Amino acid sequence: MLDPDLIARFAAIVGVSNAITDRNEIAPHLVETRGLYHGASPLLLKPASKEEVAAILKLASETGTAIVPQSGNTGHVGGQTPRAGKDDVLLTLSRMNRVREIDTSANLIVVDAGCVLQSVHEIAEQHDRLFPLSLGSQGSCQIGGNLSTNAGGTQVLAYGNMRQLCLGLEVVLPTGEIWDGLRKLKKDNTGYDLRDLFIGAEGTLGVITGAVLKLFPRPRGHQVAFAGLASAEDALVFLGMASDICGTSLTGFELMVRLGVEFTVRHIPGVRDPLSEAYPWHVLIDISTSDSAESAETMLQALLEKALAADIIKDAAVATSSSQARAFWHMRESMSEAQKPEGGSIKHDVSVPISSIPEFMAKAEKAVTAVVAGARICAFGHMGDGNIHYNISQPVGADKQAFIGRWREVNAIVHGLVLEFGGSISAEHGIGQLKRDELAEIRPAIEMDLMARIKRAFDPAGIMNPEKVIRPQ
Amino acid sequence: MLDPDLIARFAAIVGVSNAITDRNEIAPHLVETRGLYHGASPLLLKPASKEEVAAILKLASETGTAIVPQSGNTGHVGGQTPRAGKDDVLLTLSRMNRVREIDTSANLIVVDAGCVLQSVHEIAEQHDRLFPLSLGSQGSCQIGGNLSTNAGGTQVLAYGNMRQLCLGLEVVLPTGEIWDGLRKLKKDNTGYDLRDLFIGAEGTLGVITGAVLKLFPRPRGHQVAFAGLASAEDALVFLGMASDICGTSLTGFELMVRLGVEFTVRHIPGVRDPLSEAYPWHVLIDISTSDSAESAETMLQALLEKALAADIIKDAAVATSSSQARAFWHMRESMSEAQKPEGGSIKHDVSVPISSIPEFMAKAEKAVTAVVAGARICAFGHMGDGNIHYNISQPVGADKQAFIGRWREVNAIVHGLVLEFGGSISAEHGIGQLKRDELAEIRPAIEMDLMARIKRAFDPAGIMNPEKVIRPQ
């Protein structure tokens, strides 16, 4: 039980109406999207300024109160979920959602960390600019969470992760001090790279309250196509062709197994297979050009002709309108959602060297189905980045809970293979609670020790999102 | 005096022939290129492996012996120079210069940190690939130094700094432990970003011994042009046009004042002004295209036509051969060298928001010449990155030492303006000794404190390149 006096002191900082103790109002913040973690919290604080955040963290450090920052609550690894059976105080910046500045000549935008990603897209568009970070959850996720998890998504191939899209940060430290690192410079070699330390730290080193983000010219040409292929090996050759022909204009290269396409056609209203025949593998290609609309068309045509002539792709549909292009993308983005009606799904967010993807796919399927007969591989992902969401739907008719109960066992098999290929067990979703212990097992002790030293140096009271990413010391 | 027994213990690690105590052999390592710092060292160690580096640092930590890592000794801020009057031991990885692996399908190369940058260029070229980091000192600087200073150079506009060109690192920590972070993945969200903490730390947190670097397809089209302009304002408009027309194919946009061109024509053998008339400002444009040779030509032609028609540029010469393109670049790259025969030069390596460059240039010239009558502004740099080498040659006939003696005073004026514009006092050269105290003055205390905490956490014995970047604690 959090001391009522302490609750009152926190409430005094943000105002009583922004210090939520109502259980029903707090409830949605205690469960994450996949339902893997259920936490508890006596108090949800909604500060309106960095100064209020600073006062909250100062009081928390002085009183040893754990603070869990939560943005759009769309994370997949439980990083944003408070612990069960503790008195973790939730902190949301949803009231800090102002665009502080937009500078189209310098191609940058300065935002509060509570801005919803999609609102940043919209404001950039209104100024004829592109903010490229693109996620399925963009209607609810927030910039602070995107930064804290170094979010990736579908445009990483051309524009990079959130880390590459950020020029400067404003961070409130666990001690309540405010670091103003809101720089707007492309080049700045003045000491240790604090910015990149906070990005991807999942709220364990401080609370990001503001950021300078890069904008890009809106592409003049945009082409999307959906291809059918015989094998993952062919997809790899196709990726090589696409890189050769399109260079930096290749803005998306998404690989999907047939089953994923079938699930979306079956369960997502309005989705239909753009191709007339069924193929074992599919690729969604996205090309954006800065010089002209025609060059994107020329590139796509050249690529498809070459790939068809070489029998690397079997068929392809080109989106002839922007609504059709959105429909192709919608299929890809609904793939995780489309798994739900098929029962339980054991998920992986892995990366391997791109050239190893076909071999990884073959070995993983063999290993998983050897252990879980009838397991249905619904793998898809950002092949151009080496990042595969290796999801496994339960066998038809199996017991969902029994299947989900084998999560760790199946993880161990898939991740074991990932490590054999020199890959990562978390390409874009982060560590949170879900992969914390596994990370400590697979990484050298010195690496975990360096991370623990940084944690202690920045958060001596251990109040920032405790027990996430690294084990408590 | 370093204890002879201790020297013997270090020598036992690397072998007596690789533990240099000969004063003449050590001498070239004690002075940096500009002659601003003269240090001392009783011992230069040349390890052959990361294990030897680890043994050296372990012994150094146990005995409190300061270690100064030095790569090609081409740094501009004294970061690589041992302290005067101390017993700093020099460490060079010049014997660790193997290419460990090159993978053209994955577009990466794994190298020892002692590899000379130019040798990496050459190996990449032999495999029909590009390693884009491009510096005047590339014939002698080494990858370890490039990483430790987050080197920039002339290709940052399209490819980014060394930070963006590195996928993974191998680092020996001050305690002698080895961190194997040699990852080859584009996406990997597994804990704190240790890689980016070591990059740019100027050897104060550990010794980088190996790296995974990105390679790129060699461009199919390459065009270089040299333009004459009436003002820096026009150069800004020209940059906007170039970005619009070329997008990510704009691989260089270098601004130069007339005086720099005159100095190179006067002092660098073989350099001549490509234009028949003199203009107050010049821009070197570099365009590289991945799809075809023709598209670079088309882009350049469209750009020059548009800029001439709008009277934004007054004249332009297009390089008609690769040797002419090299000659244009040679002029730009010799600009610092060409200042030497003109006497003393007070240098700045600053960045400001790109749109502020013209105003910064005008204000800085006014402020500097008001204080040093007759001072000659020889500014040039990477305008596309906002990075200007704001160099000031002494007045004709002035006393060199007296002029150089005003270094701090002139720095204060230029840097004061830079800060007014929200700029950086070290865009690419780093902090080293030269800007350490100034950094501490201009940055908020919390920022310097966070850096000091990281330093203490990584190097508790304080042996790694002491007194560089941050003040000793």
Q: B229 - beta bridge partners?
A: B281
Distance CA B174, CA A235 (A): 45
Give the distance from residue B53's alpha carbon to the nearest chain A alpha carbon, in angstroms.
Answer: 16
Q: Which positions ≥6 away from B429 have C-beta within 8 Å?
A: A189, B75, B76, B77, B149, B349
Q: Which positions ≥6 away from B142 have C-beta within 8 Å?
A: B71, B72, B93, B94, B97, B113, B114, B115, B116, B117
Asked if B105's CB is within 8 angstroms of A189's CB, the reply is no
B150, amino acid identity: N
B109 touches chain A (CB under 8 A): no
Which of A190, A238, A436, A455 has the highest number of chain B CBs within 10 A, making it the mutation to test binding with B? A190
Please write the tens of the pLDDT for every residue from B337-370: 999 999 999 999 999 999 899 999 999 999 999 9
Q: Say yes or no to pLDDT of A76 above 80.
A: yes
Distance CA A211, CA A147 (A): 9
Asked if B186's CB is within 8 angstroms of A290's CB, the reply is no
Distance CA B135, CA B419 (A): 26
Burial class (CB in 10 A: 0-12, 13-18, 19+), B266: exposed
Asked if A180's CB is within 8 angstroms of B387's CB, the reply is no
Q: What is the dihedral of CA B456, B458, B463, B467, to 10 degrees?
A: -50
Eight-class DSSP state of B184: -
* Average pLDDT over every residue of B415-425: 95
How distant, in Å, are the alpha carbons of A49, A143, A199, A214, B146 from that of A94? Answer: 11, 10, 19, 22, 41
Q: Cβ of A462: how many Cβ atoms within 10 Å?
A: 17
Question: Cβ contacts (< 8 Å) between A382 and chain B: which residues?
Answer: 187
* Average pLDDT over every residue of A88-113: 95
Q: What percent of chain A has pLDDT over 90?
A: 91
Which of A189, A190, A196, A382 has the highest number of chain B CBs within 10 A, making it the mutation to test binding with B? A189
In this prediction, residue B292 has a pLDDT band, given cuts at 50, 70 and 90, of: confident
Would you state the pLDDT for residue B370?
A: 97
Asked if A200's CB is within 8 angstroms of B193's CB, the reply is yes
In this prediction, residue A89 has a pLDDT band, given cuts at 50, 70 and 90, of: very high
Distance CA A380, CA A389 (A): 5
Would you state the pLDDT for residue B35?
A: 83
Q: Say yes or no to pLDDT of A79 above 80.
A: yes
Asked if A177's CB is within 8 angstroms of B427's CB, the reply is no
Would you state the pLDDT for residue B369?
A: 97
Q: Say yes or no to pLDDT of B1 above 90.
A: no
Nearest to A424 among B163, B179, B188 (CB): B188
Give the distance from residue A468's alpha carbon to the nearest chain B alpha carbon, in angstroms.
Answer: 10
Would you state the pLDDT for residue A420?
A: 96
A44-58, A302-316, B30-44: the lowest-pLDDT one: B30-44
Would you state the pLDDT for residue B247?
A: 82
Q: What percent of chain A has pLDDT over 70?
A: 100
Distance CA B276, CA B279 (A): 10
Q: Cβ of A98: how many Cβ atoms within 10 Å?
A: 12
In this prediction, residue B33 has a pLDDT band, given cuts at 50, 70 and 90, of: confident
How many Cα neighbours within 13 Å face the side chain of B48? Answer: 9
Reported pTM: 0.95
Q: Which tokens is B426 given?
A: 């070290």
Encode burial over B113-136: b for 16+ CB neighbours within 10 A, e otherwise.
Answer: bbbbbbbbbebbeeeebbbbbbbb
Distance CA A422, CA A424 (A): 7
Q: Which tokens is B170 given?
A: 């191998």
Q: Say yes or no to pLDDT of A25 above 80.
A: yes
In this prediction, residue A155 has a pLDDT band, given cuts at 50, 70 and 90, of: confident
Would you state the pLDDT for residue B154?
A: 84
Would you state the pLDDT for residue B117?
A: 98
A164 touches chain B (CB under 8 A): yes
Q: What is the ipTM of this complex?
A: 0.94
A105 touches chain B (CB under 8 A): yes
Question: Cβ contacts (< 8 Å) between B190 and chain A: which residues?
Answer: 424-426, 430-431, 435, 439, 443
Q: Say yes or no to pLDDT of B106 above 90.
A: no
Q: Say yes or no to pLDDT of B156 above 80.
A: yes
* Average pLDDT over every residue of B182-203: 96
Question: Cβ contacts (< 8 Å) between B355 and chain A: which residues?
Answer: 103, 105-106
How distant, in Å, are the alpha carbons of A17, A18, A45, A222 from that of A8? Answer: 12, 12, 11, 54
Asked if A355's CB is within 8 angstroms of B103's CB, the reply is yes
In this prediction, residue B472 has a pLDDT band, given cuts at 50, 70 and 90, of: confident
Give the distance from residue A428's alpha carbon to the nearest chain B alpha carbon, in angstroms.
Answer: 5
Q: A346 - beta bridge partners?
A: A392
Residues 185-204 of chain A whose Cβ lies under 8 A from any Cβ of chain B: 185-194, 196-197, 199-201
* Residue that wins the pLDDT comparison between A276 and A472: A276
* Average pLDDT over every residue of B398-416: 95
* Domains observed in chain A: 4-91 (3.30.43.10), 99-217 (3.30.465.10), 221-336 (3.30.70.2190), 339-420 (3.30.70.2740)
Q: Say yes or no to pLDDT of A430 above 80.
A: yes
Would you state the pLDDT for residue A387?
A: 94
B13, amino acid identity: I
Give the distance from residue B245's alpha carbon to the nearest chain A alpha carbon, in angstroms.
Answer: 6
Q: Which tokens is B147 given?
A: 């990483």
Q: Which tokens is B458 given?
A: 């990584």
Q: Say yes or no to pLDDT of B291 above 80.
A: no
Which of A186, A425, A465 has the highest number of chain B CBs within 10 A, making it the mutation to test binding with B? A186
Q: B233 - beta bridge partners?
A: none
Would you state the pLDDT for residue A400?
A: 95
Q: Which of A222, A382, A241 is nearest to A307 (CA)?
A: A241
Q: Where are the beta strands (DSSP E) in B113-260?
A: 129-130, 166-172, 178-181, 207-214, 216-217, 221-229, 250-257
How distant, in Å, are the alpha carbons of A287, A307, A320, B203 from that of A297? Answer: 9, 15, 11, 48
Residues 20-59 of chain B whose Cβ lies under 8 A from any Cβ of chain A: none
Q: How far is CA B205 from the centre of its chain?
A: 19
Q: Say yes or no to pLDDT of A290 above 90.
A: no
B69: left (phi over 0), alpha (psi -120 to 50) or beta: beta
SS3 A355: helix
* Average pLDDT over every residue of A323-347: 94
Residue-averaged pLDDT of chain B? 95
Residues 335-394 of chain A whose Cβ lies under 8 A from any Cβ of chain B: 351-355, 382, 385-387
